[in-house]
Chain A
Amino acid sequence: MSTAAKPATTRTLGTRALSRPLSPHLQIYRMPLAAMLSIAGHRATGIGLVLGLLLLTWWLTAAAFGEPAYTTTMAFIGSWFGKFILFGFSFAFYFHLCTGVRHLFWDAGKGFEIPDTQRTNQIVIAAAVMLTLLTWLIV
Chain B
Amino acid sequence: MVPKPDMLRSALGRVRGLGSAKEGTHHWWQQRLTAVALIPLSIWLIASIVSLSSAGYAGFASWFHNPIHATVMILFLLAVFHHAQLGLQVVIEDYVPNHAARTVCVVAAKFACIALAVSCVVSILVVAFKG
Q: Complex formed: what's the CA distance from A139 to B47 in Å? A: 10
Q: Complex formed: what's the CA distance from A86 to B114 in Å? A: 23
Question: A63 near B120 (CB under 8 angstroms)?
Answer: no
Total A-B Cβ pairs within 8 A: 60
Chain B residues in 8 Å Cβ range of A53: 80-81, 84, 116
CB B62 to nearest CB in A, in angstroms, measures 12
CB B124 to nearest CB in A, in angstroms, measures 6
Selecting from A24-32, A64-72, A109-117, the interface stretch reads: A64-72
Q: Complex formed: what's the CA distance from A56 to B73 in Å? A: 12
Instruction: Decide yes or no whether B30 CB sits under 8 A from chain A.
Output: no
Question: B91 near A54 (CB under 8 angstroms)?
Answer: no
Task: Give the secondary structure class of B's interface.
Answer: helix
CB A127 to nearest CB in B, in angstroms, measures 13
Contact with A along B35-76 (1 / 0, CB 8 A): 110010010001000100100110011000000000000000
B5-37 with Cβ < 8 A to chain A: 32, 35-36
Q: Complex formed: what's the CA distance from A101 to B35 in Å? A: 8
Determine the interface band of chain A, counting residues with CB < 8 A from chain B.
Answer: 20 to 34
Question: B119 near A70 (CB under 8 angstroms)?
Answer: no
A-B contact pairs, 27 of them (CB 8 A): A43-B87, A46-B84, A46-B87, A46-B88, A49-B84, A50-B84, A53-B81, A53-B84, A54-B116, A57-B116, A60-B119, A60-B123, A61-B123, A63-B60, A63-B123, A64-B126, A67-B57, A70-B57, A70-B60, A93-B46, A97-B42, A101-B39, A104-B32, A104-B35, A135-B46, A135-B50, A138-B50
8 shortest interchain CB distances as A-B pairs = A64-B123, A60-B123, A64-B126, A67-B57, A70-B57, A61-B123, A46-B87, A60-B120
Could you list 4 further interchain pairs (A-B, Cβ under 8 angstroms) beyond the known A54-B116, A60-B123, A64-B126? A46-B87, A64-B124, A67-B57, A135-B50
